């Protein structure tokens, strides 16, 4: 496996060198026995209080999968993208205070990317940071949001505008949770898996042939996808360079997601990323960065799994406006990460408004273009 990653019986460890440089990086366990793993975690660390925040929709699966785990007080939450905000975070901090949680407390987060982002942000800022453990329950959170130490909340209607870097103490990825996940959410997470393959591993991209709702064994796919994310994060933990390639599809994707959140018609993050990858690849093509055949092959696979949204010129104007707030922008310039060929990517590509509209022309004709 690339970049010094070691897999030991389905367990990922950051390599020894990395551990010496940054002992804070977590172990990621895939398909171990999560209850048993939690028990041994508690044998090594002593906490004054344990609070488990669980997405209410994952509660049933949690009770089955983590049957004998030490979870402390369990607090189910009704949570979604619309309440991934400061108000909800404040409610969590009030709860932590009411429960008299101190710096030696532990918060276990059992849920998707929204709970992970919000709960991780709340935990890592309460009393300057209490420890937390992530147990992701959606495909997206297993393959992407849990890995890499980014936490955040939406602010003034814009995605992830406030946030921080903080790693959980432990990440337990248990594919059994996916059995309870609706198909729509499987497609949501699959977009980030396709993205990982598209930017780093050509062979993996061509191996991803089944429709995601037909995949029964997620473990090998998760191992490869998580391996890609880990290897990129490991090389550039604070997103100063290479890590920006993980934002492929996200400049347009986040701007589109924001557009739909503002209209109370939230679309899943992964769906927006899938469409974002198509728009951004269309722009890359018009700028001579991505060849036509590569764009065709790539868009064929995306369009097999995701329908194009209907967006008129006015909608696209607003989405372009949202792109001006993207966190990767520097000195007012919109910077994008592009796939240069399937399996390779670049970052910090400046795009102008005319590049955007040229790309949109290709994007709007992709169905004909790809056939």
Residue whose CB is less far from ligand NAD, 269 or 285: 269
Residues 59-88, interacting with ligand NAD (CB under 6 A) = 61, 80-81, 84
Question: Min. distance of Cβ 172 from ligand NAD in angstroms?
Answer: 13
- Other beta carbons within 10 angstroms of residue 5's beta carbon come to 18
Q: Is residue 221 classed as helix, strand or coil in its secondary structure?
A: helix
329: its two tokens: 């922008």
Residues 128-147, interacting with ligand NAD (CB under 6 A) = 137-138, 140-141, 144-145
Give the distance from CA 272 to its chain's centroid.
12
Is there binding between residue 125 and ligand NAD (CB under 6 A)?
Answer: no
Tell me the per-residue interface mask from 264 to 283 with ligand NAD, x by CB under 6 A, - otherwise: ----xx--------------
Q: Binding residue for ligand NAD (CB under 6 A) from 52, 57, 105, 299?
A: 57
Report how far apart, in Å, the C-alpha atoms of 59 and of each of 168, 169, 284 are.
21, 22, 43
Q: Are 185 and 159 in contact (CB under 8 A)?
A: no
Catalytic residue among 150, 167, 196, 267: 150
Report how far apart, in Å, the C-alpha atoms of 36 and of each of 46, 281, 344 are.
16, 44, 39
Say whether 229 is catalytic.
yes
Say whether 269 is catalytic.
yes
Question: Min. distance of Cβ 246 from ligand NAD in angstroms?
Answer: 8
Residue whose CB is less far from ligand NAD, 38 or 109: 109
Q: Binding residue for ligand NAD (CB under 6 A) from 160, 225, 281, 299?
A: 160
Residues 84-103, interacting with ligand NAD (CB under 6 A) = 84
Report how far apart, in Å, the C-alpha atoms of 172 and of each of 109, 148, 159, 187 are.
10, 14, 26, 21
190: its two tokens: 């699959």
Q: Are 272 and 188 in contact (CB under 8 A)?
A: no
Q: What angle do CA 47, 53, 57 make, to 5 degrees?
A: 150
Per CB under 6 A, residues contacting ligand NAD are 55, 57-58, 61, 80-81, 84, 111-115, 117, 137-138, 140-141, 144-145, 148, 150, 159-160, 177, 180-181, 185, 188, 268-269
Catalytic residue IDs: 128, 150, 192, 229, 239, 243, 247, 250, 254, 269
């Amino acid at each position: 496996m690339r970049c010094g990653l070691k897999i030991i019986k389905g367990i990922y460890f950051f390599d020894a060198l990395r551990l010496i440089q940054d002992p804070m990086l977590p172990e990621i366990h895939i398909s171990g026995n999560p209850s048993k793993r939690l028990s041994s975690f508690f044998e090594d660390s002593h906490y004054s209080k344990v609070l488990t925040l669980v997405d209410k929709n994952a509660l049933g699966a949690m009770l089955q999968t983590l049957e004998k785990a030490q979870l402390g007080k369990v607090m189910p939450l009704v949570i979604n993208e619309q309440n991934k905000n400061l108000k909800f975070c404040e409610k969590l901090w009030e709860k932590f205070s009411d429960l008299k949680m101190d710096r030696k407390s532990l918060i276990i987060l059992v849920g998707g990317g929204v709970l992970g982002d919000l709960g991780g942000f709340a935990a890592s800022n309460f009393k300057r940071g209490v420890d937390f453990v992530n147990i992701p329950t959606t495909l997206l959170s297993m393959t992407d949001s849990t890995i890499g130490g980014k936490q955040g909340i939406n602010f003034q209607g814009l995605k992830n505008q406030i946030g921080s870097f903080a790693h959980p103490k432990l990440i337990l990825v248990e594919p059994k949770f996916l059995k309870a996940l609706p198909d729509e959410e499987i497609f949501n997470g699959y977009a980030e898996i396709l993205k990982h393959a598209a930017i780093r591993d050509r062979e993996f991209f061509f191996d991803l042939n089944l429709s995601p709702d037909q995949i029964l064994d997620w473990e090998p796919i998760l191992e490869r996808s998580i391996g890609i994310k880990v290897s990129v994060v490991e090389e550039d933990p604070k997103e100063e360079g290479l890590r920006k390639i993980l934002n492929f599809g996200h400049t347009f994707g986040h701007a589109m997601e924001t557009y739909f959140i503002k209209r109370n018609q939230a679309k899943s993050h992964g769906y927006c990323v899938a469409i974002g990858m198509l728009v951004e690849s269309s722009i890359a093509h018009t700028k001579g960065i991505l060849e036509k055949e590569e764009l065709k092959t790539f868009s064929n696979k995306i369009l097999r799994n995701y329908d194009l949204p209907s967006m008129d010129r006015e909608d696209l104007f607003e989405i372009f406006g949202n792109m001006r707030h993207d966190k990767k922008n520097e000195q007012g310039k919109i910077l994008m990460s592009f796939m240069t060929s399937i399996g390779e990517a670049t970052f910090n590509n400046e795009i102008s408004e005319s590049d955007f509209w040229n790309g949109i022309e290709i994007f709007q004709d992709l169905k004909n273009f790809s056939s």
